[in-house]
Amino acid sequence: MPKIEHPKSTIPSQLHGLHLFHYDAAPCAQRVRFALGEKGLGRGREEKFDSVTPSAIEGDDGKWVSRRISLPKKDHMTQTYAEIHPDMVVPALVHDGALFLESLDIISYLDDAFGGPPLVPRDATLREATMARVEQAKVLHRSIRYVTFYWGLGRLAMLNPKERNQLTDLANQGNDQEQLVSFYNQYSTGNIPEATFNDHLNKLFTAFSELDVQLNDGRQFLMSDELSIADPFWSMKILRLLECGYPVEQHHPNLYAWYQRIYQRPSFQNEVMGKNRLTNRAFKMKAGIEQFFGKGLRNAVEMIAA
């Protein structure tokens, strides 16, 4: 399993049980929390992300300890977190001192380490098709970032020059695999052309339309009648885009019906929505106001669909 050997930070090796470094409203962390919920592991104690006091390092029986990384407060762009996750993104999971990065690797690890119905199908053909869908979702993650920033977060997500310098310095210590430096430099200076954002939205629209056709055969979940790892990867995209005002039901009705099935699961309600409800409402309110003025993501999707 892709455990991170010898992380720079001394924090992970001190932690017992399960500790998740995450942010409530981040889709990449939400899919891991969904998987934890499906494995019967609920949210436990909250600890400061860098706390290593004797009580903070303890596990929480049958639950995961929440170590919240506030993205708006830029906790992820600190030296302390960059030593845990050199790409400065969430999530990161620690299990009994072993550090795991990348939501796909984390969910695969949880699937092997804990019981319950498998999320990665055992059947080879189905597994291959499932992992291809997950890879597609991973690539499109970049498009979700562009769409969220442009139509959801707007100026709030821009970094000032001091923050950009700090980010560059920290990124130079790692690989910047998520290309945060170039993204934030361009985004914060208004240097990304509108066509680029529309292009990312187009890619998502095309992928959703394809999935909508696939779901026409009446299957319960994305790959078959069984829940799989593909479901959290794609449903968190729908959650985020609904928050930004994307008219999913109108343009992808099968996908919307599938999303409702996922949304109603206890793991979604408790682990994904849980403390995300306030942010969810704020996003939706902003989208509603924009829609009233004929602007925003809904309008952009209608133009693509026309």
Residues that bind ligand GSH (CB under 6 A): 26-28, 71, 76, 89-91, 102-103, 141, 178, 180
170 Cβ neighbours under 8 A, 6+ residues apart: 77, 78, 79, 82, 88
In the block, tokens 């560059």 appear at: 168
Q: State how far the Cα of 34 lies from the Cα of 273, in Å rounded to an integer.
A: 10
CB of 235 to ligand GSH, least distance (A): 14
CB of 254 to ligand GSH, least distance (A): 25
Residue 229 is classified by DSSP as: T
Nearer to ligand GSH, 85 or 286 (CB): 85
CB of 70 to ligand GSH, least distance (A): 11
CB of 206 to ligand GSH, least distance (A): 21
**DSSP assignment of 153-190:** IGGGGPPPHHHHHHHHHHHTTS--TT-HHHHHHHHHTT
Nearer to ligand GSH, 103 or 276 (CB): 103
Nearer to ligand GSH, 180 or 230 (CB): 180
Nearer to ligand GSH, 27 or 44 (CB): 27
Nearer to ligand GSH, 66 or 103 (CB): 103
In the block, tokens 């969904």 appear at: 34
CB of 106 to ligand GSH, least distance (A): 7
CA distances from 203 to 63, 140, 198 (A): 37, 8, 9
